[in-house]
Amino acid sequence: MSHTTVFHNAHVLTERGFERDLGVVVEDGHIVAVLPGEAPGAGEQVDLQGGYLVPGFIDTQVNGGGDVLFNDAPTVDGLRRIAAAHRRFGTTGLMPTLISDDVAVMQRAIEAVREAIAQGVPGILGIHLEGPYLAEARKGVHDPHRFHTPDAAELDLIAALGVGRTMVTLAPERFAPATLRALADRGVIVCAGHTAATYEQLRDAFAAGVRGVTHLFNAMTPLGSREPGAVGAALEDPDSWCGIIVDGYHVHEAALRVAIAAKPRGRMMLVTDAMPPVGGEREGFSLYGVPMTCRDGKCTTADGTLAGSALDMASAVRNTVERVGLPLDEACRMASAYPADFLGLGGELGRIAPGYRADLVWLDAGLRVQGSWIGGRQAGSASPG
């Protein structure tokens, strides 16, 4: 028998912006109607107390959460704990991200994601391999001893998930355009990141099938007056997507405003680059056996190098409104509709409309998460996020 749930008494984010006096009707995990009226129709009534109902957040760069680092726990249980930690903050879909590691760890991570999707672990959309095909000059916190150029067998491994989405961040200057095109043609979402590419090299990479840029501005050649660099190529290209980390540490708010203004609407998306402290109990963690510390939401090595973030998606949305100055509806789209489009899932996730999966987030007036739902099922409880 079908189960019907009606969400009402909220500002509902539709394609027209936030609207009041709507009821969102969910049956069997999908939105079947968005109707005028406070509580139209029969079924379980969910009163959202005048808050905001927005599409579930989608994060394409999640290294860890709940005191778990994906590299250290490339297992179904590790994925389950990471996803559960982020659901508290409105993330209903994520790409678990493996930081540059050995091929054996990559294999285990891919197998774990495949099995997690088969088991229906809520929120797992695929895998993001951030490296190990990066530029040592822009390594960030990655271990350059693990950097290498993949052979044919390793390229087969990268494209072997078979379910969900596969995203790879690489330094495109290390690859022939034909190799980039072959990966894209096999369904891999290829992004440039941790790259020393020139403006010209990244333009060529976009033409060869590179789809976007991982954490714009960070770990890439900067925009200069005579050398536009990777940042210039990314901002100029109208078709590529850019992930941005809005935590107050990775990128200055003025640079974010300039970048958002430069790109066509819909091509900027929020990411967290989250590390284990998100939704966890410990401030510190280790990467490659090296201690990392998180203070005031900033994760660093002992020498001050940024090591991912302690950012959650609800805070990213809030920061985009309060620090960058974007309207709430656009900030929410940057956390939902735009990453869904980037992943090729824009027809089923990221919007509140009939036919879409009922991945939903309830925010209060302070933009803090009061509840989240994946496929219409309660997936999170009130949290400080």
User: What does the DSSP 8-state code read for residue 321?
Assistant: I
**Which of 273, 312, 329, 359 is flagged as catalytic?**
273
Give the closest residue to 336 by CA, choosing from 321, 355, 314, 319. 314
In sign, the C-alpha dihedral spanning 114, 120, 125, 130 is: negative
237 included as an active-site residue: no
Q: What residues have CB less than 8 Å from 292, skipping those under 6 apart?
A: 141, 275, 284, 285, 286, 299, 300, 301, 307
Residue 344, phi-psi category: left (phi > 0), alpha (psi -120 to 50), beta (remainder):
left
Which among 363, 256, 351, 257 is positioned nearest to 315, based on CA atoms?
A: 363
DSSP symbol at 23: E
**CA 135, CA 157: separation in Å to the nearest integer?**
21
Q: Is residue 150 reached through a cis peptide bond, with omega within 30 degrees of 0 on the bond before it?
A: no
Task: Cite the active site residues.
Answer: 273
